[in-house]
DNA sequence: GATCCTCGAGTTCT
DNA sequence: CTCGAGGATC
């Protein structure tokens, strides 16, 4: 039987409580500090429940450092200020190699006679700096950094962080103040947000803010269920311990006392050693379980640190070398509306240019008006801009506290900004559209661009700039006009010589030989993308029957319902569209007869669905897709449980994770090539 | 009618 | 890549 009930005598109970404290603390240490669990979850729960049961029977056996007290019980009224006994320093920043070389040179100049300096290097975590006071090995106080001189008492919350020991191991000194960074893992952050979303609560912006917010909670019960973690990185006030000669040695001792130190700490030599470490961490950065915003270098010898001293509140012996940030603040200068090929009006924020994630960003899409209202972005607002893992900049949120007096709300225009036609917004739909159709130059330009694009007609060399000129100069109205352009005409245009013009004409000639599926896609029929175009092509086999088909007949096609069928039917009913198609055919646009579906659906990979993520070595993703289709397989963009295989190349995206969650079979490039035969 | 699966459309910068 | 919405399925 389990020992849920308390021992009969108090003496027995006291002895058992001692044992349980020890066992639970040991299990916590192995799990949270060493990251090497030796106790099963069930076993751990049994120990904790037994302790709770005894404490319920004998309340005076509850001590402040009991593992049960970690859960956090009573909220505090407000956070109490704490004066740091030794100030918590801020660090100078280096933003490039030159800054770092200068730092190393200054250090060497001040330390006369030292040729090469030894540095302790460690990742700089994106979290919250906290000071921890241990007296006689027992945690008595934890305080935030605050302004460096005064912080706030957050002991009640810090007790709930399992990686922070309540009691140090071995023989700790009389007094030990250590500094560490409290942070949240990315996975923990995501899981937390997913839960919040499920419960309909508001989500958090990033792990850093969430960690900072959690630690400054008044109610420790709110902190207890947050996945917080900690790394210790320096020593403050000490009594009863003679510091070793080097910082790296001090960190070793912290480890021995059961304080979690980053496993990535290294000792490096000179500026070149620092830069190599920076490089290595930069490569590791995307694979780490937590966010880091740079690395920190500290002169390793304490004697040298003392010799170097401080400038105001920053030490001369340490520097933070920052990575390009994933997130930055910037100001929304204006919001303009772009018109897409279907007439969709997209609000785009024009931003004060800002360097984020390695590039300068000056535009960010706001998708649609629903999004604008949800985020309540106004012109003049300061916003948080993200470019996480992803490439596309995203406005995460508005910093409302920094909204200026005259911040202007964003209004959907009633007329198209390009052609002045009415703007139409169907209720319950997110997008608003310009009703100008092909009369609108913006829509005409965008449809021509789509027509020429790689996955459609694939006219190499016909880009935005050229199309703008051709449309503005009224030389091209429909796609068919493109093929009528002469070398002489093209050579007239800006940035075009005889040679490029000849090349472009040649490219257009080559593009005339195409496939029915590409051609249908190029026409830009609403709701007909690549997949639907391919389905239509293989169902009808030729263009003629499709043009004449009734709505009902079109609905026969797999994955085509009433809405899409109506769009397709309507498109071919338009006299203008028929004329354009006719003209294109006359210009020599042609394709081989298409195999009907029945014939295409045999092959080695028939009935299998593939999703590709990451970069493949031996071929592009498009090629891989073509090979799969050629063997009768299907390629899809998103992973579901109907997916047969997920093919993973180098640097895969979130699809790999999804595949693992759903238990979908994952193939590496080698396995994929084998499957292809 | 609800839910899941896909597809389409739009977007950034070098 | 992400969001929104059409289509299929139960």
Question: What pLDDT digit, counting tens, does each position of A72-119 carry?
Answer: 555 555 678 888 888 888 888 887 888 899 899 999 998 888 889 999
Report, in ranges, which bases of strand B sit under 7 Å from a protein C-beta: 4-14
H, E, C per residue of A365-430: ECCCHHHHHHHCCCECCEEEEECCCCCCCEEEEECHHHCCCCCECCCCCCECCCCCCEEECCCCCC
**Which nucleotide has the shortest C1'-to-CA distance from A371?**
C3
CB A84 within 8 A of CB A149: yes
A389: the nucleotide nearest its CA (via C1') is C1
* Residues A436, A419 contacting (CB under 8 angstroms): yes
CA of A317 to C1' of B12 (A): 40
pLDDT, residue A74, reads 55
Q: Give the closest nucleotide to A362 (alpha carbon vs C1').
A: B12
Distance A169 CA to B5 C1' (A): 54
Identify the pLDDT of residue A312: 67
Nearest protein residue to nucleotide B4 (CA to C1' distance) is A640
Q: Is A124 a catalytic residue?
A: yes
| Pair A161, A246: CB distance under 8 Å | no
Residues by Cβ under 7 A, strand C: A 367-368, 370-371, 390-392, 428-431, 527, 558-565, 613, 637-638, 653-655
What CA–CA distance (Å, rounded) separates A255 from A169?
9
Closest CA to A219 of A436, A334, A73, A355: A73
Nucleotide of closest approach to A636 (CA, C1'): B6
pLDDT for residue A598: 46
Distance, in Å, from the CA atom of A492 to the CA atom of A486, rounded to the nearest integer, reads: 10
Catalytic residue among A3, A124, A484, A641: A124
Angle between helices A464-472 and A441-452 (to 10 degrees): 140
CA A374 to chain centre: 20
- What does the DSSP assignment read for A323-375? PPPSEEEEEEEEEEEEE-TT-EEEEEEEEEEEEETTEEEEEEE--SHHHHHHH
pLDDT at residue A596, rounded to an integer: 56
Radius of gyration of chain A (CA): 33
CB A614 within 8 A of CB A651: yes
Phi first, then psi: give them for residue A227, nearest 5 degrees. Answer: -80, 70
**C-alpha closest to that of A237 among A151, A179, A176:** A176
The predicted structure's pLDDT at residue A260:
94
pTM above 0.85, yes or no: no
**Ranges of chain A with pLDDT below 50:** 1-3, 597-600
pLDDT of residue A198: 66
| C1' of nucleotide B11: residue with nearest CA | A365
What pLDDT does A2 receive? Answer: 44
Query: Which residues of the protein are close to the nucleic strand B, CB under 7 angstroms?
Result: A 338, 340-342, 344, 346, 348, 359-365, 391-393, 446, 526-533, 559, 609, 634, 636-638, 640-643
Q: CA A372 – C1' B9 distance (Å)? A: 18
* ∠ Cα A437 A443 A444 (to 5°): 95
Residue A166: how many other CB atoms lie within 10 Å: 20
Q: Stated in angstroms, how far is A146 CA from C7 C1'?
A: 55
The encoded tokens of residue A544 equal 């003629």
Q: Which nucleotide is nearest to A653 (CA to C1')?
A: C1
Q: Which residue, A595, A602, A634, A618, is CA-closest to A672?
A: A618
Q: Which nucleotides in chain C have some atom under 7 angstroms from a protein Cβ?
A: 1-8
User: Protein A634 CA to nucleic acid B5 C1', in Å?
Assistant: 14
Closest nucleotide to residue A638 (Cα to C1')? B6
Distance A225 CA to B9 C1' (A): 40
**Three-state SS for A611?**
strand
How far is the C-alpha of A611 from the C-alpha of A635, rounded, in Å?
6
Torsion of CA A307, A310, A314, A319, to 10 degrees: -30
What's the Å distance between residue A199 CA and nucleotide C10 C1'?
Answer: 26
Distance (Å, rounded) from C-alpha A499 to C-alpha A504? 9
Residue A276, pLDDT score: 93
Element (DSSP H or E) covering residue A103 = helix A97-110
pLDDT at residue A677, as a whole number: 74
Q: Which residue is nearest to nucleotide B12 (CA to C1')?
A: A392
Closest protein residue to B13 using CA and C1' atoms? A359
Q: Looking at the C1' of nucleotide C4, which residue has the nearest alpha carbon?
A: A430
Predicted confidence at residue A582, as pLDDT, reads 94
Give the CA A334 to C1' B11 distance in Å: 17
């Amino acid at each position: 039987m389990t020992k849920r009930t308390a021992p009969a005598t108090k003496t027995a109970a006291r002895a058992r409580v001692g044992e349980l404290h020890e066992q639970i603390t040991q299990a916590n240490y192995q799990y949270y500090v060493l990251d090497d669990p030796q106790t099963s979850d069930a076993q751990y729960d049994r120990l904790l429940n037994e302790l709770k049961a005894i404490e319920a029977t004998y309340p005076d056996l509850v001590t402040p450092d009991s593992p049960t007290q970690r859960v956090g019980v009573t909220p505090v009224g407000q956070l109490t200020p704490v004066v740091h006994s030794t100030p918590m320093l801020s660090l100078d920043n280096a933003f490039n190699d030159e800054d770092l070389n200068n730092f190393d040179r200054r250090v060497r100049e001040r330390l006369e006679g030292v040729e090469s300096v030894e540095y302790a290097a460690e990742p700089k975590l994106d979290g919250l700096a906290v000071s921890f006071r241990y007296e006689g090995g027992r945690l008595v106080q934890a305080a935030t950094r605050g302004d460096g001189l005064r912080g706030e008492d957050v002991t009640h919350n810090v007790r709930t962080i399992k990686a922070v020991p309540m009691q140090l191991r071995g023989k700790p000194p009389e007094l030990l103040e250590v500094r560490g960074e409290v942070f949240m893992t990315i996975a923990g952050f995501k899981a937390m947000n997913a839960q919040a979303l499920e419960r309909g609560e508001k989500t958090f912006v990033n792990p850093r803010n969430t960690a900072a917010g959690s630690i400054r909670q008044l109610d420790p019960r709110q902190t207890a269920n947050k996945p917080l973690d900690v790394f210790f990185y320096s020593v403050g006030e000490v009594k009863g311990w003679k510091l070793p000669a080097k910082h790296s040695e001090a960190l070793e001792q912290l480890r021995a006392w059961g304080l979690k130190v980053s496993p990535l700490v290294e000792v490096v030599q000179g500026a070149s050693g620092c830069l190599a470490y920076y490089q290595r961490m930069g490569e590791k950065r995307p694979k780490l379980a937590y966010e880091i915003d740079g690395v920190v270098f500290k002169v390793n010898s304490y004697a040298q640190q003392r010799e170097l001293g401080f400038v105001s509140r920053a030490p001369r012996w340490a520097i933070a070398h920052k990575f390009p940030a994933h997130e930055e603040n910037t100001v929304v200068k204006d919001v303009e509306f772009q018109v897409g090929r279907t007439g969709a009006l997209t609000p785009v924020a024009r931003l004060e240019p800002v360097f984020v994630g390695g590039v300068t960003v000056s535009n960010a899409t706001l998708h649609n008006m629903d999004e604008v209202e949800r985020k309540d972005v106004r012109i003049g607002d300061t916003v948080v801009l993200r470019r996480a893992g992803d490439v596309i900049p995203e406005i995460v949120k508005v910093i409302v506290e920094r909204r200026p007096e005259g911040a202007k709300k964003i209004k959907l225009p009633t007329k198209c900004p390009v052609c002045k036609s009415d703007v139409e917004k169907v209720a319950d739909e997110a997008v608003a559209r310009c009703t100008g159709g092909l009369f609108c130059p913006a829509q005409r330009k965008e449809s021509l661009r789509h027509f020429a694009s790689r996955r459609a007609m694939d006219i190499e060399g016909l880009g935005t700039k050229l199309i703008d000129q051709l449309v503005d100069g009224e030389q091209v109205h429909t796609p068919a006009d493109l093929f009528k352009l002469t070398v002489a005409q093209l050579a007239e245009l800006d940035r075009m010589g005889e040679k490029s013009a000849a090349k472009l004409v040649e490219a257009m000639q080559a593009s005339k030989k195409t496939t029915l599926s590409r051609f249908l896609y190029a026409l830009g029929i609403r709701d007909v993308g690549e997949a639907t175009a391919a389905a239509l092509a293989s169902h009808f086999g030729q263009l003629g029957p499709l043009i004449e088909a009734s709505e009902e007949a079109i609905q026969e096609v797999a994955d085509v319902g009433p809405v899409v069928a109506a769009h397709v039917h309507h498109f071919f009913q338009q006299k203008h569209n028929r004329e354009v198609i006719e003209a294109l055919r006359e210009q020599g646009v042609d394709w081989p007869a298409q195999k009907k579906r029945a014939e295409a659906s045999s092959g080695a990979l028939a009935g299998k669905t593939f999703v590709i993520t990451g970069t493949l070595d031996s071929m592009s993703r498009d090629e891989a897709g073509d090979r799969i289709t050629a063997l009768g397989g299907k390629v899809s963009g998103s992973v579901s449980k109907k997916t047969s295989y997920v093919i993973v190349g180098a640097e895969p995206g979130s699809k790999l994770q999804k595949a693992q969650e759903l238990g979908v079979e994952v193939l590496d490039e080698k396995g994929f090539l084998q499957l292809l035969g």
